Amino acid sequence: MIYDIIIVGGGPAGMSSALYALRENKKVLIIEKESFGGQIATAPRLENFPSIEKISGLEFSDKLFEQINNLGVEFELDDVIGITKNNDKDFIVKTTNNVFNCHAVIIANGCHHKKINLPNEDKFIGSGISYCATCDGPFYKGEEVNIIGDANSAMQYALMLSSYCPKVTMYALFDHLFGDAILKQKVYSNPKIDIKYNMSLTSFEGDDTLTGLTFKNTKTNELVNVKTNNVFIAIGQQVDNNRFSNLVKLDNGYIVVDSNMETSTKGIFAAGDTIKKDIRQVINACSEGSLAAINAVKYLS
């Protein structure tokens, strides 16, 4: 069997791609490694999507999956390990357990926030631990908040949170901040932002929800306990695109696309957090997914 379009990834970008391709009567297969919804499925609330005042990330993902399922999408729970060209036009998508053929590919496998990898971290995601201040910061309006990180993302989070939180405490692993000079200047001059240096997180405290953090001062070895119901982890993101580097151009691991969401190889498109861009929000991912599908359909024509 040959599919019109194979979509790698079942997050908002991938499912939006499927939606637009299916409405054009294309035969579509989505291959997702873990579970449909991507990162947004773990968000307790989504409040910045037009026309939806408030919804959980999981419910949003479920509704999108139901929509494409009703349109006849096919899906496989498997891990894509590579893509090769079958001839001048078609592609072979290899997974851990199978091989699929198609006329066009949309890569929408997203990216993952780097974790600290301590006990309770996964347990408290959405219950005190967040990786996206843009998404979850407004839930803590008027409260004191905490950030773990010492580079651009952490500084951007701190500046944004300081606009509606009375105090923002940054916990930096080293004795200085990294990143753009203009961001450091803004952070240093902001009276609401307090920076604690040489702080290495050793544990997340709590039973069902986060109630505190324990740090070790890397210079004095002193243990520092912080009582809090929140922490934003901003230690970077990671993508897994080297497996596609034979066919697509990468920049720091992210896939480079043009305004049509097409990669350096005709017939391969990409959308969502996996591409090189500045803003990573659900609405962007959905928009990019629809663009990728529309242009993939044009390519097939």
pLDDT at residue 295, as a whole number:
98
Nearest CA among 95, 148, 108 for reference residue 8: 108
- CA distances (Å), 12 to each of 59, 68, 214, 298, in order? 12, 11, 35, 21
Q: Let me know: does 180 contact 167? Beta carbons within 8 Å.
A: no
Mean pLDDT on 26-35? 94
- Mutual orientation of helices 12-22 and 57-70 as an angle, nearest 10°? 20
Contact between 40 and 11 under an 8 Å Cβ cutoff? The reply is yes
Paired residues of 76 in beta bridges:
31
**Who's near 118: CB < 8 A, 6+ residues apart?**
201, 202, 203, 204
Residue 100: the pLDDT is 97
Integer Cα distance of 268 and 263 in angstroms: 6
Q: Using an 8 Å Cβ cutoff, are 166 and 144 in contact?
A: yes
Do 2-111+239-300 and 129-233 agree at the fold level? yes
Q: What percent of the chain has pLDDT over 90?
A: 81
| Phi/psi of residue 264, nearest 5 degrees | -70, -10
How distant, in Å, are the alpha carbons of 197, 202, 218, 235 from that of 192? 16, 25, 25, 21
Q: Which fold has domain 129-233?
A: FAD/NAD(P)-binding domain (3.50.50)
pLDDT for 196-238, tens place per residue?
Answer: 999 999 999 999 999 999 999 999 999 999 999 999 999 988 8
May I ask the CATH class of domain 2-111+239-300? alpha beta
Return the H-helix or E-strand segment holding 208: none
pLDDT for 44: 65
Start-to-end Cα distance in the chain:
19
Residue 156 has pLDDT above 90, yes or no: no
pLDDT digits (tens, 9 = 90+) for 278-290: 888 899 999 999 9
Domain coordinates of the chain in residue numbers? 2-111+239-300, 129-233
Cα–Cα distance for residue pair 270/291, rounded to 1 Å? 10
Q: Which residues of 6-16 are buried (b: 16+ CB within 10 A; e: fewer)?
A: bbbbbbbbbbb
Q: Give the per-residue pLDDT at 75.
A: 95
Average pLDDT, the chain: 94
CA distances from 176 to 33, 146, 198, 221 (A): 38, 17, 8, 18
Which tokens in the block code for residue 2? 């040959």
> Looking at residue 132, what is its pLDDT?
86
Q: For residues 280 and 261, give the distance between their C-alpha atoms in angstroms, rounded to a whole number.
A: 15
d(CA 89, CA 113): 35
Q: Tokens in use for 226?
A: 């912080």
Q: How confident is the model at residue 272 (pLDDT cuts 50, 70, 90)?
A: very high
